[in-house]
Amino acid sequence: MQEYGILFDHSLTLGFRMHDRVSDILSRHYLLVKRLLLAGSYLVLLAFFLPTAASFQRDFGEMAGNLLIVILFLSPLSVLFRMPLLLLLMGLRRELGILMGCLALVHGVWYFVTPSFFWETGQSLLRVSGFVWEKGIGAGIIGLALILPLLLTSNTFSVRLLGGKLWKRLHRLAYPAFFFIVFHRFFMGESWQSPVPFVEAVLLLGTYTMMKFLAWRPTAFPWLQERIGEVGVRYRQYRMERV
Ligand code: HEM
């Protein structure tokens, strides 16, 4: 038992050391990272003009979906753990969101300009009992429709124009977008008949809801709050020892 405790302590120290290293590099090059993320987003849009775009449109969808998950999890995680790296990443959410939006845009729109896909989807949309959305594609379209206003207003001009309150309210669209994209991923993944994508979708939505709740009401589960708080306490101890 004691050996496990020592192993845990060592892993925690290693984790803290890596955390500090990454935070240090990120804070030293913060502006550069922001610019690189924006430049990356514009480069992604250039894919519209590439004849080979079809070969990576699936990867773009996967990257957009994963980024959306990261962006949404950052907020409750930073409240719960209060680690410097998470707080630094919170400041990059706008740039990460723009990159996610551009990837999602190219992924989604490219399918629609592909005649064979458009034709097949159109047929399957109309085939089932008159007019029923093909579940996965419908969720993708709704997800993209919710992400687009976020992409278009992720700039200082829009914040000024809308005012902070309305802008924040508009950006809550990220939550339903997350829901629809999880649904879309579930149906469009390798084999949605297998239990894995289903378990993944339930785990994602469940963990996120739980984390949001804990960040909002930290006292709801005192034993859990204690465990989570312990990481912060151990980190501060680690920092004190290093000074
Ligand atoms: C007009 C909207 C959209 C359409 C028509 C669309 C279409 C598709 C199609 C056809 C696939 C299957 C790809 C394949 O099997 O080769 C797919 C997969 C996927 N899409 Fe979309 N999509 C849309 C929007 C989005 C958005 C907005 C996101 C994320 C923000 C997204 C994320 C994904 C992900 C994560 C996968 C699964 C990749 C995998 O597991 O392999 N999609 N989409």
Q: Is the CB of 174 under 6 A from ligand 1?
A: no
Q: Is the CB of 200 under 6 A from ligand 1?
A: no
- Give the distance (Å) from ligand 1 centre to CA of residue 105: 10
Q: What is the pLDDT of residues 200-213, one digit of tens each?
A: 889 999 999 999 99
Residue 133's pLDDT band (cuts 50, 70, 90): low
Residue 131's pLDDT band (cuts 50, 70, 90): very low
Q: Which atom of ligand 1 is nearest to the CA of 66?
A: 35
Residue 125 predicted with pLDDT over 90: no
Q: Is the CB of 101 under 6 A from ligand 1?
A: no
Q: Which atom of ligand 1 is nearest to the CA of 144?
A: 27
Residue 128's pLDDT band (cuts 50, 70, 90): very low
Ligand 1: residue whose CA is nearest its atom 40? 189
Q: Is the CB of 108 under 6 A from ligand 1?
A: yes
Helices (H), the chain: 2-28, 30-46, 57-81, 84-90, 93-112, 115-127, 135-152, 156-162, 164-170, 174-188, 195-216, 222-242
Q: What is the pLDDT of residues 80-119, one digit of tens each?
A: 988 999 999 999 999 999 999 999 999 998 887 776 666 6
Q: What is the pLDDT of residues 152-198, one digit of tens each?
A: 999 999 999 999 899 999 999 999 999 999 989 888 766 656 788 88
Q: What is the pLDDT of residues 33-64, one digit of tens each?
A: 999 999 999 999 998 888 776 678 889 999 99
